[in-house]
Amino acid sequence: MSPRMASRLHATDLPSRGHDDIVIVWRVWESCSLACRFCGYSRELGRPRMAMKLPAAIAFGKVLGEVQQDGGRSILVSWLGGEPLDWPQLPRLARIFHRDCGLRLGVTTNGLPIHSLQVRANLLADYEQVTISIDGLAPFHDQVRGMPGLYERLRESVSRLRDEDADGRLWRRVNTVLMRGNIDAFGRFCEEMADWGFHELTFNQLGGNDRPEFYPANRLLPQQVARFAHELPEIRRRMVERGMIIRGSERYLARIAATTSGQPIAIDDCRPGTEFLFIDTLGRISPCSFSSDGYGIPISQIDSVDAFLDLPRQFRELRRNRLTACDDCHATHVFDKFRSESEPAAIAAS
């Protein structure tokens, strides 16, 4: 699909979902120890650092557990930061969500905390997936994340986590941000990530909202994206033989190509709240991270199974006042970031 053909998508264009899972991505902690040049949560930025209020999170977790039990829909909660594994309250919250509420858990991390034996033990006890952010080969990754030696430290930590996972229950995913300086080495990067023992690789394009001063000189070029899309099928094939899946549908590649060409993609109906939800540190639940201010509903108001099941209706009502973000949608789950072309469309943790 060309960027021009993808310039406007409608409800009928969205692929039907092949399962009944609900994915909730939850930003619980906004602090981070790294100085990533592209991230809005870099330690170098003078900004407020908020954390989710634990009692409110626990109360909502109990509601989610009831929703899962009553409705037969599996719920995956995936923590996001900042660096969520550095939040002191997270181990307790994870135990409650997993062991008491019966929820599935994932987390996205910069990987530094995994150096700790206790953190790895917590992951193996209470989580089914961990996503580690690695943005290219050693020199590039260390430079954009502001920490010399980080890449090799992560290699060691991932190796330990793999070796300690005796029963193979923890799904290891690597996510990488594609930028002008690393996209041409994507094939070699995938080879190394397969060597590390990751089960799955996902990718984002560099966005410009968080660090507008970094974006112009580092955003992807149209010719780079065209070459990437041409080479990706063969890279996928090689990685499958190595035991690693590369996610990202044709729709997702079209979204990336449209961005590099400056063409908006509007979504008329993303079926808000039916399969994917986002919660921020203020405790607002919304259809995606781009709609918290416009459509966010306090989780304190979602105090029962019926209230949770009513969220899609509430979001449809709120969307009558259409947000500007919907006229150029960048919500990766809408474009099947987590889909492989050989599989039915599906939403997974973002």
Domains and CATH numbers, the chain: 8-335 (3.20.20.70)
Give pTM, 2 decimals: 0.91
The tokens describing 62, both together, are 């109990």
Residue by residue, pLDDT tens for the chain (350 residues) are: 333 333 333 322 333 333 569 999 999 999 999 999 999 999 999 989 999 999 999 999 999 999 999 988 999 999 999 999 999 999 999 999 999 999 999 999 999 999 999 999 999 999 999 999 999 999 999 999 999 999 999 999 999 999 999 999 999 999 999 999 999 999 999 999 999 999 999 999 999 989 999 999 999 999 999 999 999 999 999 999 999 999 999 999 999 999 999 999 999 999 999 999 999 999 999 999 999 999 999 999 999 999 999 999 999 999 999 999 999 999 999 999 999 765 544 333 33
3-class DSSP state of 314: helix
Strand boundaries in the chain, DSSP class E? 8-9, 22-27, 75-80, 104-109, 129-133, 171-178, 200-205, 245-246, 266-267, 276-279, 284-286, 297-298
Q: Under a CB-based contact definition with an 8 Å cutoff, are residues 34 and 145 in contact?
A: yes
How far is it, in rounded angstroms, from Cα 143 to Cα 218? 13
DSSP 89: T
Q: Looking at residue 10, what is its pLDDT?
A: 31
Q: What is the pLDDT of residue 90?
A: 98
CA dihedral 255, 259, 263, 264 (to 10 degrees): 70
Residue 304 to residue 243: CA distance in whole angstroms: 42
User: What is the identity of the amino acid at 93?
Assistant: L
Q: What's the confidence (pLDDT) of residue 340?
A: 77
On whether the CB atoms of residues 227 and 185 are closer than 8 A, the answer is no
Alpha-carbon distance 198 to 245, whole Å?
9
User: What integer pLDDT is reported at residue 342 of this predicted model?
Assistant: 54
Closest CA to 326 of 341, 337, 336, 316: 316
- The residues, any chain, with a CB within 8 Å of residue 177's CB and separated by 6 or more, are 38, 133, 135, 203, 204, 205, 206
**CA–CA dist 259, 287 (Å, integer):** 21
- For residue 349, the model assigns a pLDDT of 38
pLDDT at residue 336, rounded to an integer: 95
